[in-house]
Amino acid sequence: MTGEMLTQRNLLSIEDLGRDGILEILHESETFVEVASRRMPKVPALRGKTIATVFFEKSTRTRLSFEMAAKRLSADTLSVDISSSSVSKGESLRDTLETVDALGVDAIVIRHQSSGAAVLASRWVQACVVNAGDGQHEHPTQALLDAFTLRDAIRRSRGVSAEDLSGSQVTIVGDIRHSRVARSNVLALSALGARITLVAPRDFLPVSVEGWPIEKVTEDLDSVLESADVCYLLRIQRERMADAGLSDLREYRRTFGLTVERAQRLAPHALIMHPGPLNRGVEIDSQVADGPNSLIRAQVRNGVPVRMAVLFHLLGASREATEDIGNRRG
Amino acid sequence: MAEPREIIIKGATLVESNLERRADVHVVGEHIANVAVDLEVPSRVLVLDGSGCYLMPAFVDLHTHLREPGGERAETVTSGSRAAALGGYRCVVAMPNTIPAIDSAAMVEYLRALCIDTLCEVGISAAITVGRLGERLVPIREIAEHGVRIFTDDGRGVQDDELMAEALRVGRELGVVIAQHCENEVHAHGGQMHEGRWSSALGIPGQPSSAEEVMVARDLALVRDLDASMHFLHLSTEGAIELVRRAKADGLLITAEATPHHLSLTHAEVATFDARFKVNPPLRTARDVLAVRAGVADHTIDAIATDHAPHSPETKDEPFECAPPGMIGLETAFSVAYGELVARANLRVPGDLESPTIKIADLVALFSTNPARIAGVASAGPPLIATGNRADLVVFDPSERWNVRLEDIASRSQNTPFAHLDLTGRVRHTLYRGEPVVIDATAQR
């Protein structure tokens, strides 16, 4: 398996990984969680490598956690600020990426507002490409950190060393049609054995779910609350309300928000997830987001070790680098 | 004075309407001098080998974007006409969505002045509305007096009901063709590909089939009410084909075209995120592809038209959602149609084998006689390949497998969805007004 993984150069979609690749990254993530707990939370695994973050869209947590992950692996980082770059002078995406590539970077972490931008980037540049979100298509590192967080929580609550998410009923609620987080999570969580239910107003559901590895699609959140082991909420955008035939955010909350009242109807063990940023009081009430069953903080926290694992997986999976991690251990 | 040029095409099978026969064709100057079996070859005559090939009346494309003026980076009248000649065309109708649009008699004359020394005839069409803005009609009568026969806002549909009704009334009065790009912009809601399985999986905004069908339905109602006639451009959905089929059965005076790509490719191609597969109307489902083929087979579709839409490389080298829609098609159209509909080669669409096969003579109707009639450039005949007629001829080798190599493309743009694919059958020679503009698949100027 490792030999096969070594040939992988990009992370564009969860489909690039498959179940084995996902498990390998989750396994590596555990190592990096341990690294984070050290007094000196840094390893020389990617010393001498340069990682560029090229974000064409606003982002706080994704960009910060990629940069922190790179720094903890001792890689040098470059960050292209699009507002002050040549893009504002009309430079094409391809020229911008080829310029960054020509500098000799080892990896380009790209976020772009158009679906498929990372796939195209991987055809244009020599560097490894990591998709940090492309339009409404995919956000694979978010799904990996979600899978990691969820598996970790299940292991803790059950006290067993579950390898995957088999048997878990994951209910994803929100604007699934326009969500790259939902697309990546459906692929990743189902690959790990989770059974997935999608819940949304009809116009927030994909036009077609043909080929989607899901169990159920419904417009009725209340009917699936009790069976959910995990309730994964997506951010709702005010400007999309009209598309879904909803008058305002309040109406959304009334039917699809995880309110305090709805949360009480969840099973006691049910876990709450959200990729952030939160719209408190819309898709989720504050008391639920901050409650004992919420994994939202853990999701953010795990962003760093999981992205370390991804970068290490693509750039550093040589024996030398592996020893660099091990040498510091203990 | 120099002797007129003489050419003999030897050993080909002549195909037109329901006729197939072996004969040699002797061309002197611009015209066919003789059609007979085993013609003797005088020494001064250029001989073009037609053995194993079909000899047909050269093609007419109802739907070509030559991009001049304004889009010369992507195509010019000269480069486009060369691509057309290589595809076997003797006439292409240039779409009016240039910059500025062809929306006045002055623009018609400006474009006509550019069309000199082309390798095929360029038919000039004009917009229906000024600037293609859909707000007020162009001076259709005046423009028609300058020889324009086809009016269209192609690239955009005429959205306003009353404006379209008015255009149809004028069209009926003048006997010109009003051609509609069938897309209701409200229903299309900015979709960049067909709305369905693949748009959902890829996260690309889609436009539903209804965007096309709503427009076809409205226009059919107008044609019926006004007792007018109309041409439907590039139909792509099962529902649209069925609407036109029924309207024809009811006796409406309508014609319709379909493109080679809509009868050979599906929206699954978009999974590559390659903007070469972005086109409007979009590539649709396998079911729609089969419906287009059925429409071709039962004469719901009168003509196969390329919608040759060149775009310079940098504009297609963008994310799918940012790139302009359109594919080039002149150089591959007949091979694609032959491979898919006659030879049953190149099959890429699920369910292909269930669609009906047509004959080579049917393709002649779809590529030559029907579009020539619609464009108003029909020659005397039948038979078209006869002594005294103008020598606009194409020799097609059905057995040649060839690879679509980008470096061989004569168009200034390379946005073909068939790049690197093997196609079955190739245009070998094209004669335009007796001039061998293409010999052995090579443009002569």
Q: Do A172 and A247 fall within a single domain?
A: yes
Which residues in chain A touch residue B191, judged by CB atoms under 8 angstroms apart?
none
Helix, strand, coil percentages (3-state) for chain A, rounded to 5, are 45, 15, 40
CA angle A86, A89, A90 (to 5 degrees): 100
Token pair of A63, please? 């960009």
Report yes or no: A153 and A111 within 8 Å, Cβ to Cβ.
Answer: no
Sequence-distant (6+) residues with CB within 8 A of A49 are A73, A75, A76, A106, A107, A315, A316
Q: Do A150 and A278 fall within a single domain?
A: yes
Report the C-alpha dihedral over residues A135, B215, B297, B285, rounded to 10 degrees: 20
Express each pLDDT in B159-180 by its tens digit. 999 999 999 999 999 999 999 9
A321 band by pLDDT with thresholds 50, 70 and 90: low
CB of A300 within 8 Å of a chain B CB? The answer is no
Mean pLDDT of all residues belonging to chain B? 96
Express each pLDDT in A26-56 by its tens digit. 999 999 999 999 999 999 999 999 999 999 9
From A114, A119, A206, residue closest to B321, measured CB to CB: A114
Which residues in chain B touch residue A210, judged by CB atoms under 8 angstroms apart?
197, 200
Token pair of A227, please? 């069976």
From B196, B314, B321, residue closest to A207, measured CB to CB: B196
Domain that holds residue B256: 58-375
Which residues in chain A touch residue B320, judged by CB atoms under 8 angstroms apart?
114-116
In a domain, B429, yes or no: yes
From A137, A209, A210, residue closest to B203, measured CB to CB: A137
Which residues in chain B touch residue A177, judged by CB atoms under 8 angstroms apart?
200
CB of A90 within 8 Å of a chain B CB? The answer is no
Interface contact B320-A115, CB threshold 8 A = yes
Instruction: Please give the tally of structural domains in chain B.
Output: 2
Domain boundary among B332, B348, B375: B375
Q: Is B307 a catalytic residue?
A: yes
Domain that holds residue A173: 140-299
In a domain, B105, yes or no: yes
Report yes or no: B330 and B105 within 8 Å, Cβ to Cβ.
Answer: no
Q: Do B353 and B394 fall within a single domain?
A: no
Q: What percent of chain A lies above the pLDDT cut of 70? A: 92
Residue A210 Cα, gap to closest chain B Cα (Å)? 6
At A325 the pLDDT is 62
Position B9 pLDDT exceeds 90 = yes
In a domain, B381, yes or no: no
Summarize the confidence of residues B421-426 as an average pLDDT: 96
Q: Do A223 and A153 fall within a single domain?
A: yes
At B312 the pLDDT is 97
Q: Do A251 and A309 fall within a single domain?
A: no
The residue of chain A nearest to residue B315, with distances taken between CA atoms, is: A92
Position A328 pLDDT exceeds 50 = no
Q: How far apart are CA B87 and CA B426, in angstroms?
A: 8
Q: Which of A268, A65, A41, A33 is nearest to A151 (CA)?
A: A33
What CATH number has the domain bearing residue B430?
2.30.40.10
Interface contact A211-B199, CB threshold 8 A = no
Report yes or no: B85 and B438 within 8 Å, Cβ to Cβ.
Answer: yes
Report yes or no: B284 and B332 within 8 Å, Cβ to Cβ.
Answer: no
Name the H helices within chain A.
2-6, 18-36, 61-72, 93-102, 117-124, 140-158, 180-191, 249-256, 260-265, 286-289, 296-315, 319-327
- Starting at the earlier edge strand, list the strands of the sheet with B253-258: B150-152, B177-180, B229-232, B253-258, B303-304
At A244 the pLDDT is 75
Interface contact B202-A116, CB threshold 8 A = yes
Residue A93 Cα, gap to closest chain B Cα (Å)? 7
Which residues in chain A touch residue B208, judged by CB atoms under 8 angstroms apart?
207
Token pair of A269, please? 């063990």
Q: Do A304 and A280 fall within a single domain?
A: no
What are the backbone dihedrals phi and psi of residue A243, each rounded to the nearest 5 degrees, phi first?
-60, -35
Instruction: Please give the tally of structural domains in chain A.
Output: 2
Residue B205 Cα, gap to closest chain A Cα (Å)? 9
From A115, A120, A211, residue closest to B203, measured CB to CB: A115
Q: Do B137 and B21 fall within a single domain?
A: no
Q: Do A321 and A197 fall within a single domain?
A: no
CB of B271 within 8 Å of a chain A CB? The answer is no
Domain boundary among B350, B375, B400: B375
Express each pLDDT in A253-292 by its tens digit. 999 999 999 999 999 999 999 999 999 999 999 999 999 9
Express each pLDDT in B181-222 by its tens digit. 999 999 999 999 999 999 999 999 999 999 999 999 999 999
Position A1 pLDDT exceeds 60 = no
Q: Which of B68, B109, B72, B70 is nearest to B92 (CA)?
A: B68
The residue of chain B nearest to residue A121, with distances taken between CA atoms, is: B319
Q: How far apart are CA B288 and CA B262, in angstroms?
A: 8
CB of B317 within 8 Å of a chain A CB? The answer is yes
Q: Do B392 and B421 fall within a single domain?
A: yes
Count chain A–chain B contacts defined by CB atoms under 8 A: 68
Q: How far is CA A2 from the centre of its chain?
A: 23
For residues B284 and B352, the model is more confident at: B284
Report yes or no: A115 and A136 within 8 Å, Cβ to Cβ.
Answer: yes
Sequence-distant (6+) residues with CB within 8 A of A146 are A185, A188, A189, A232, A273, A275, A299
What CATH number has the domain bearing residue A235?
3.40.50.1370
Q: How far apart are CA A138 and CA A145, in angstroms?
A: 14
Q: Do B108 and B167 fall within a single domain?
A: yes
pTM attached to this predicted model: 0.94
Catalytic residue of the set B24, B61, B307, B362: B307
The residue of chain A nearest to residue B313, with distances taken between CA atoms, is: A94
Sequence-distant (6+) residues with CB within 8 A of A39 are none
